[in-house]
Structure 1
Amino acid sequence: MLRRLLRIVLALVAVGFLGYGLAQNWEETTGAVAAMSPWAVLGAFAAVLLGQFFMLVAWREILAGLGTRVPLRTAGRIMFVGQLGKYIPGAVWAYAAMMDLGRDHGSPPRRTFATISLGLVINIGVAISIAAATLWTLDAVRQAWYLVLLVPVIILCLHPKVLAWGLNLALRVARREPLESVLPGRTVVVAVAWTALGWFVYGIHIWLLSGRPDLYVIATGAYAFAWATGILTVVVPAGVGIREGALVLVLAPVIGPGPALAVAIVSRLAFTLADAAAAGISFLLGRQVPRSVPAYADQNGSGSTALTPDRNLSGSPEA
């Protein structure tokens, strides 16, 4: 109860600082929002949706590499509907919802848990790498140089053997059965590629909202930096307030405090609406799994089913 209260307080503090900055630059910010082209706002929303689609493809690739191959629409239902839990204080809700939805569609909870965790690690690694490569000349970002130290650690953790050990350790802590297979190295490379493509598309929405044709590179790095900062602040649900503050920190010296606040606010709104739209579309499209796809019993005999045969650590098919 105390931890939940602390999370709520921290979220309110973050939002309070954002509100204070908005109040201090109210006229400039509202003017910047009013000056935004409706087509730019609509384009930003479309870019967010497209970026989410690429992230979904990466997520599905990881799930398939771990032994459960599902149609893209089913993966979308598991990922997009389940991740709405991130708006509730505490990361456990999104995990629990996605694991439950995964079970409904043939993915054992341990595989869904591993897929979520690995997808998050890849996202953080790619986001920090992009931010470091695009924003190293900005003083505000150089002050957070220590975040770059996470990149080699994440690369090391993505080695199949290290990855299998880490995920099985997390599963033991969560009192789940260990994974039956090691994620192939090719799957990791493909997931990283799709994730990077998603981040480059996400950059388009900040670029459109900024109204500066010359700022695509900085816009991409700015959002990557802001997202990584928000997600690493685990006590605040969905990085509310933290992500916007980091985005303003990067963009304000380039386009001014008011326009930077306007971009941060509209960006958050675009992502919130895109989350809801993606969840709604995926819920409708993923309600049924094609009957022609065979189901296989889970290794532990719990009654969960997978849509492809499991493979053990030696690579041989499970009985």
Structure 2
Amino acid sequence: MARLRSRLAQLAANRRLVVALELTALAIFLGALGWALRDVWADAGPRLRHADLVDLGLALVVLAGYYLVFILGWMRILGAYGIQIPYRVALQAEMLSMLAKYVPGGVWTPAARVVALRRLGVRDTPLILASVLLEAGLSALAGVGVFVVGLAFVDGVDAPLPLIAAFGVLVAVLLYPPIFRTVASRLLRPFGAHEVPALPGRTAFSLLAFYACTWPLGGLALFFLLRSVGGDPAIASIPFLGGASAIGAIVAVLAIFAPSGLGVREASVYGLLLAVAVEGVALGAIVLNRLAITVVEAALLLVGVLLIQARPAQVVEDPRPDPQLASGEGAA
């Protein structure tokens, strides 16, 4: 067993081998996915070529709004840790990390934020990484909640509900303050962490509610994408579509072999969209969704860079973070 662990550690240390294995697994998965959907492309292709530009434009605007609002959550987490950053800095760092997901290796998303903030004077790498973990955990937990609520508005959803519920419970347990402090401190010890504090309870629950409100924006963007390729989803399905977007994002993070969850995210969302759309519409919508996400992230990154160049940012690391955070009282 010890020899096996040593061998696995050596394999993990070989970045080139890891990347090669990831790309091989991704190619196999995409090939299988394309083969499984080969009969659907005949319907989806014309829908994509004749997509309604008005609905597509509305989807891009709403998706951009989702990202612009989502960033506020990360800023709030950093603020609780005593790191105050201007919005334009958060915008650049967040979008850089989003695009970094396309680079094989799995470490570039958090690394991009660390690099972006280090350039602006923030040197506390463990707290930056902890903020990324909290953002991912809280938004995922909120997304599961939105998905469950959304099921009340749509019939005939084929989803692995026990697995989704188990994932939500697992995330909630990991976010529980004593467990989060222990896990995060050990996980981030190689980066110099001693004890990573948990968020105050009021802050954590307010962020959970905040992220729960952001997912319906993603659902609204998906609503317009479905319409753009000839779908006719009900307005009442928007909460469900927001939950479907959340499940897709969660699967994208868990599928470590696929950069940015490429293909895996689309497959999971496609399966859920079949509850509100025919196969050709669902396939067309997920293709446009991937393109829209990439275009919006790149455009917002450019905006962030231009804003910083126009007005150089000053980042403040407050030595006096949230009093509840420092004392450990009221954590949740």
Using the TM superposition, give the Cα deviation of residue 195 of structure 1 relative to its aligned residue in structure 2, in angstroms. Answer: 1.6
Contact 1:128 1:228 in 2 (8 A): no
User: Partner of 2:133 in structure 1?
Assistant: 117
Q: Deviations over 1:105-140 (max 9, x none)?
A: 233211111111111111221222222332375452
Instruction: Quote how far apart the aligned CAs of 1:35 are.
Output: 4.4
SS of the residue corresponding to residue 106 of structure 1 reads: coil
- Specify whether residues 66 and 134 from structure 1 end up closer, same or farther in structure 2 by C-alpha distance, changes over 3 A only: same
Q: 5+ unaligned residues in a row in structure 1: which ranges? A: 296-305
Q: Which amino acid aligns with 2:117?
A: G
The answer for the alignment partner of 1:14 in structure 2 is 29
Deviation at 1:181, TM superposition (A): 4.5
Matched, 1:95 2:110: yes
- Does 2:158 match 1:140? yes
- Write out aligned runs for 1:281-292 (5 A): 281-287=303-309, 288-290=311-313
Match of 2:302 in 1: 280
Tell me by how many angstroms 1:78 deviates: 1.8
1:171 matched to 2:215? The reply is no
Instruction: Give the alignment partner of residue 267 of structure 1, picking from 267, 284, 289.
Output: 289
CA distance in 2, matches of 1:12, 1:37: 31
Match of 2:167 among 150, 168, 191: 150
- Measured at CA, do residues 189 and 286 of structure 1 come closer, stay the same or move farther in structure 2, by a change above 3 Å? farther
CA deviation profile, 1:29-79 (whole Å, cap 9, x unmatched): 022224432111011111111111121001111111111011111111222
Q: Quote how far apart the aligned CAs of 1:180 are.
A: 6.4
Out of 287, 302, 313, the position equivalent to 2:326 is: 313
Q: How many Å separate the matches in 2 of 1:270 and 1:159?
A: 35
Q: C-alpha distance in 2, partners of 1:15/1:35?
A: 25
Q: Distance in 2 between matches of 1:138 and 1:226?
A: 18
CA distance in 2, matches of 1:276, 1:102: 18
Aligned length: 301
Q: Name the residue aligned to 1:54.
A: 69
Q: Kindly tell me: are residues 135 and 89 of structure 1, through their superposed partners in 2, closer, same or farther at Cα, counting changes over 3 Å?
A: farther
Cα distance change, pair 17–133 in 1 and its aligned pair in 2 (3 A): farther
CA offsets per residue over residues 77-107 of structure 1, 9 Å max, x none?
A: 2221233211111221122221111122233
Aligned to 2:260: 238
Q: What secondary structure, in the 3-state scheme, does the structure 2 residue paired with 1:87 have?
A: coil
Q: Partners of 1:210 and 1:38 in 2: how far apart?
A: 12
Aligned-residue RMSD, C-alpha: 2.4
Partner-residue secondary structure (3-state), 2:85: coil
What amino acid maps onto 1:82 in structure 2? S
Distance in 2 of aligned mates of 1:254 and 1:76: 33
- 2:193 corresponds to which letter in structure 1? E
Call closer, same or farther: CA 1:209–1:160 in 2, change over 3 Å.
same
C-alpha distance in structure 1 between counterparts of 2:93 and 2:43, whole Å: 41
The 5-angstrom pairing of residues 36-75 of structure 1 reads 36-75=51-90
Aligned pair partner of 1:229 in 251, 262, 266: 251
The change in CA–CA distance for 1:181 and 1:248 in structure 2 (over 3 A counts) is closer
**Identity of counterpart residues, as a percentage?**
23
* Residue among 23, 27, 43 paired with 1:28: 43
Distance apart, 1:242 and its partner CA: 0.5
Moved more, 102-111 or 54-63: 102-111
Contact 2:70 / 2:214 at 8 angstroms: preserved in 1?
Answer: yes
Counterparts of 1:265 and 1:53, CA distance in 2: 22
1:300 equivalent in structure 2 = none
4+ residue runs over 6 A deviation: none
TM-score between the two structures when normalised by the length of structure 1: 0.86
Distance 2:157 2:196 in 1: 46
CA distance, structure 2, for counterparts of residue 213 and residue 253 of structure 1: 10
Query: Counterparts of 1:180 and 1:29 in 2: how far apart (Å)?
Result: 48
